[in-house]
Amino acid sequence: MERTANQVTLDLVCSLYAEHADALRAAKDAQRAHRRAHPAMKTQLDDVEAEITYLLLRYLRPEKVVEIGSLHGWSTSWLLRALADNGTGRLTTVDLVGNATRTVPPALAKGRWEFRQGDARTLAGDWLSDVDYLFIDADHGARFARWYLSAVFPELDAAVSVHDVFHRATPLPFTEGAEVVRWLEKTQTPYFTAARARAKHAYARLTELRRELGVDAAVHPGRDNPMIYFRIHRSVDAGETAGGPELAPFR
Ligand SMILES: C[S@@+](CC[C@H](N)C(=O)[O-])C[C@H]1O[C@@H](n2cnc3c(N)ncnc32)[C@H](O)[C@@H]1O
């Protein structure tokens, strides 16, 4: 079990599945019920990537989580469920549209969720300061990625996940995925993915482990799991190596 590297590893993810299997099964049951209660809700996160997000939040125990891109609040409810199970932490969600406020379960939202409607690139306020975990699933164009790579990441000392990167083994040119992967390579920032098209071994090992642990019952039909996960440290910029503290709980 590796819990000391400055990155998310397959071993860490496997150990978190084993450690939180019962809580994860309960979270999945609740998410399944939530999905059934809102049949018109659009839900983007696939099961394995949602589960890894939940498990990383359980492990890291972030106090401040920011989500950019909630649509109908599917990822929002996963994030809030992890914070609720931690018994600590708050989530700020930013989206151009306010649909999530109509679907996120009030019991999850109460006391831990703030929704702010607007364009993340121009929204006023200090909502991006002191973030422990940044979840990005918004505009998948290269220009949007260039905004957060240049305006947000240099100030960030946080765990990050970005959705829709590896629907294929390599991201299409001129997309957010291509930009962010290039930045990760340039800054030598390691990242983890369980995307079926990119990381066959990780996807297969997690599929088998989930079956063994009895946490494989489907919530969502998607199987791509294109999300990437990484840890960045303040002032990591082009040409600078991502050093600094190991991946460790925030508190
Ligand atoms: C793919 S959906 C999010 C799906 C959601 N995370 C889920 O798990 O179902 C992308 C969302 O990003 C929002 N979005 C796009 N560009 C944005 C921007 N510049 N600022 C804030 N939100 C944005 C869209 O309004 C949309 O709701």
Task: Among 49-53, 143-147, 245-249, name the one with the lowest average pLDDT.
Answer: 245-249
pLDDT value at residue 249: 81
Encode 190-209: b = buried (16+ Cβ within 10 Å), e = exposed: ebbbbbbbbbeebbebbeeb
- Over its C-alpha atoms, the chain yields an Rg (Å, rounded) of 17
The yes-or-no verdict on residue 73 having pLDDT over 60 is yes
Q: What are the pLDDT digits (tens) for 123-133?
A: 998 999 999 99
The reported pTM is 0.94
For the segment 63-86, the average pLDDT, to the nearest whole number, is: 98
Residue ranges lining ligand 1, Cβ < 6 Å: 43-45, 68-71, 74-75, 94-97, 119-121, 137-139
Distance 139 CA to ligand 1 centre (A): 6
CA distances from 137 to 66, 91, 212, 215, 223 (A): 11, 15, 30, 25, 17
The length of the chain, given as a count of residues: 251
Task: Among 139-143, 146-150, 181-185, 241-245, name the one with the lowest average pLDDT.
Answer: 241-245
pLDDT value at residue 231: 95
Distance CA 14, CA 7 (A): 14
Task: Among 2-6, 56-60, 87-91, 140-144, name the one with the lowest average pLDDT.
Answer: 2-6
**Run of H or E residues at 49:** helix 47-60
The yes-or-no verdict on residue 58 having pLDDT over 70 is yes
In the chain, the amino acid numbered 193 is T
Domains in the chain and their CATH numbers?
A: 10-232 (3.40.50.150)
Residues 183/240, Cβ–Cβ less than 8 Å: no
Q: Per the structure block, which two tokens stand in for 204? A: 């297969």
Mean pLDDT of the chain: 93
